[in-house]
Structure 1
Amino acid sequence: MNRTVLITGASAGIGAALARTYAAEGWNVILTARRQGPLQALADELTAAKGVTATVISEDLSDPVAPERLVATIAARGLTVDGLVNNAGFSRVTGFLDTDLSAHRAMIQVMLTAPVELSRLLLPGMIQRGFGRVLNVASLAGQMPATGGDTLYGPIKSFLIKASQGLYLETLGTGVHVTVLNPGYTLTEFHDVNGSREQVSSAYPTWMWMDAVRVARIGHDACEANRPSVTPGVMNNVMAGLARFLPDGLALRMVANHAKRLDRI
């Protein structure tokens, strides 16, 4: 197999774990994120350990022209994208009105607009070749009621879940698999970056946290099996199931109590 996968947000966390997972399966990887140093270190690791070709393209997906520029750069290097992992993302635990409009725009651009544009740019080639993989990394938060203090994160992830389901249906029978991965709390630097590590560590017992390597493997395998969606972890599936059946008022009260525990509202 000589397949190549593009992974956004590949410099750390689930993105880096997915890069290692795909490389272990023999995929060449195109790694993109803002930080050149960690990307290059990961590329060197994968090339040495797995014998795959690892290409680094530093890009900031908060720039509205970044998706088209990224795809153009890939084409200029003579590379073909057989798989796309839309993983780049972040959260902000400041209140909606306490966050600058530019910061809201950046979150929407990175986590909603960029996955849509990359999918639209790359899916036609996959369909034409009769082979493709698209793995969208959403979140358990996208399956739960909205919360205050991180107001846009859950709704954006809900959009990604629904968009993935639509693409799954549109690509049936084409050789392209589209899967959405919905991780719960995962051991990465994610909560260090948004400044909530202390709060979430004290609020959630260790057994609720999953390892990024395991989450990545579950996502990869689900996409290979052409499953439309996958939520890693028994407890995460229980929580997602309860959220579907609880009355909205009760669910929102429960989420509000949770947000207060984390000092977000």
Structure 2
Amino acid sequence: MEPAHALVTGASAGIGAAFARELAARGHALILTARRSERLEALAAELRAGHGVDVQCIACDLADPAAPQFLCEEAARRGLVVDTLVNNAGYGVTGTFLSRPWATHADFVQVMMTAPTELCHRLLPGMRARGDGRIVNVASLAGLLPAPAGHTLYAASKAYLIKFSQALALENRPHGIRVCALCPGFTYSEFHDVNGARELVQDMPRWLWMDAAPVVREAFAALERGDVVRVSGRVNRAIKGFFKLLPDRLALRLIDKRGKDFRVADDSPAPPR
């Protein structure tokens, strides 16, 4: 029988690659998915050589509504059982809501909300039948704070993942399945290069940043404890606590003032469709 595999989305870089490395170091077989097949294959070769685990690569774009079904069916076709799901794939869309065409937002919602939700729906029945499973939904500290202008749907999508994970955890705990929403703050990765905010964030204090590896280790520790929501790092937990104490109006005013340090809020018109 094939060993159970962990499915990691957005595995080609950043937190996703760190999840893959940590799982491989723990001896877990893997299914890696992302758009860049060459990056996936390079990581897979590294993990096979370093840890002797089976690593399968399935390249796809989660912006395609057919991708979640394709992923699950391809894993089943290869005879792979998924006992761990890491919904990590994600990115940010710069600018204000009306500065981008609807197609851009539709792709974002598909990747950030619909795809992880569908993957949970498709893979949970098997986990329940086996009486064991783990799901990590990579959310963000942004989902727990007031949302600044710019990147309009980002914090909203992360807040959705947090609430979704809470309900999912309560529904599935009696079936031996643990669910955790991981909420990192600023993490060293390609995230800000891809969304065009690198110049904004590069001057931010180093104490606000974490490496991806300790963020991932916190996620596994949280799963083992049964934590449903885990904010990574003491600094980020302090930030969350600070904003929780503020009146809503003051918190929103403060995040509006500081949001310009890390959010691109270009309000130029959307390009023609």
TM-score, structure 2 length as denominator? 0.94
Counterpart secondary structure, 2:202:
helix
Deviates more, 1:153-162 or 1:254-263: 254-263
Determine the C-alpha separation between the residues in 1 that align with 2:23 and 2:103: 34
Counterpart secondary structure, 2:81:
coil
**1:25 positional shift:** 0.7
Match of 2:85 in 1: 84
- Answer yes or no: is the 8 Å Cα contact 1:19–1:29 preserved in 2: yes
- Answer yes or no: is the 8 Å Cα contact 2:94–2:263 preserved in 1: no
Match of 1:227 in 2: 227
Aligned length: 264
The letter of the residue matching 1:110 is V
Counterpart secondary structure, 2:151:
coil
193 and 78 in structure 1: CA distance in 2 versus 1, 3 angstrom threshold: same
Determine the C-alpha separation between the residues in 2 that align with 1:99 and 1:116: 24
Q: Deviations over 1:219-252 (max 9, x none)?
A: 1221233211111111100111122231111111
263 and 65 in structure 1: CA distance in 2 versus 1, 3 angstrom threshold: closer
262 and 135 in structure 1: CA distance in 2 versus 1, 3 angstrom threshold: closer
- Answer yes or no: is the 8 Å Cα contact 1:164–1:228 preserved in 2: yes
**RMSD value over aligned CA atoms?**
1.3
Match of 1:249 in 2: 249
Q: Deviations over 1:171-197 (max 9, x none)?
A: 112111101100000011111111111
1:10 matches 2:11: yes
Counterpart secondary structure, 1:172:
helix
Match of 1:240 in 2: 240
263 and 115 in structure 1: CA distance in 2 versus 1, 3 angstrom threshold: closer
- Answer yes or no: is the 8 Å Cα contact 1:93–1:149 preserved in 2: yes
The letter of the residue matching 1:230 is R
Identity %: 49
Matched ranges for 1:178-189 at <5 A: 178-189=179-190
Match of 2:150 in 1: 149
126 and 245 in structure 1: CA distance in 2 versus 1, 3 angstrom threshold: same
Matched ranges for 1:37-76 at <5 A: 37-76=38-77
- Answer yes or no: is the 8 Å Cα contact 2:197–2:263 preserved in 1: no
Matched ranges for 1:93-242 at <5 A: 93-202=94-203, 204-242=204-242
Structure 2 spans left out of the alignment, 5+ residues: 266-273
The 4+ residue runs of structure 1 with deviation greater than 6 A are none
The letter of the residue matching 1:26 is G
200 and 28 in structure 1: CA distance in 2 versus 1, 3 angstrom threshold: same
The letter of the residue matching 2:119 is L
Determine the C-alpha separation between the residues in 1 that align with 2:71 and 2:10: 13
**1:100 positional shift:** 1.3
18 and 143 in structure 1: CA distance in 2 versus 1, 3 angstrom threshold: same
Determine the C-alpha separation between the residues in 2 that align with 1:230 and 1:110: 22
Match of 1:260 in 2: 260
Structure 1 spans left out of the alignment, 5+ residues: none
Determine the C-alpha separation between the residues in 2 that align with 1:50 and 1:88: 24
**1:260 positional shift:** 2.9
